[in-house]
Amino acid sequence: QQQVKQSPQSLIVQKGGISIINCAYENTAFDYFPWYQQFPGKGPALLIAIRPDVSEKKEGRFTISFNKSAKQFSLHIMDSQPGDSATYFCAAIQPGNQFYFGTGTSLTVIP
């Protein structure tokens, strides 16, 4: 059973556009929600993360929006650039450090 559902599976965005990736979860024990970025041939790297007591967190062009009542969170990439082309994973963590990852979104930013 997939603990964290992620969509879309793939996304193509024009340079300068907004990329939006969505994730949903059911387990209310999750208390930390990171997003990871993975380039081909590399391991995932933490991009940005949010706690459930905050509705939004912004770091540069990357923003997480968190809706606790809907149990959904999303990543917004503003002014998307070709260098942002990568696979993005959302994750949810429950106490005890158990990480659950979404299935990933392959983002392609077209110049």
Partner 1 sequence: NAGVMQNPRHLVRRRGQEARLRCSPMKGHSHVYWYRQLPEEGLKFMVYLQKENIIDESGMPKERFSAEFPKEGPSILRIQQVVRGDSAAYFCASSPQLASYNEQFFGPGTRLTVL
Question: Which residues are at the interface with partner 1 (CB under 8 A)?
Answer: 6, 9, 31-32, 34, 36, 41-46, 49, 51, 89, 93-104
From the CB of 79, what's the least distance to partner 1, in Å?
Answer: 26
Residue among 13 and 36 whose Cβ is closer to partner 1? 36
If DSSP states are collapsed to H, E and C, what string results for 14-60?
Answer: ECCCCEEEEEEECCCCCCEEEEEEECCCCCCEEEEEECCCCCEEEEC
From the CB of 81, what's the least distance to partner 1, in Å?
Answer: 23
From the CB of 94, what's the least distance to partner 1, in Å?
Answer: 8
Among candidates 66, 72, 104, which has minimal Cα distance to 88? 104
Q: d(Cα 72, Cα 70) in Å, to the nearest integer?
A: 5
From the CB of 107, what's the least distance to partner 1, in Å?
Answer: 15
Give the end-to-end CA distance of the chain in Å, rounded to a whole number.
37
In angstroms, the Cα distances linking 46 to 21, 31, 89, 105 are: 16, 16, 9, 15
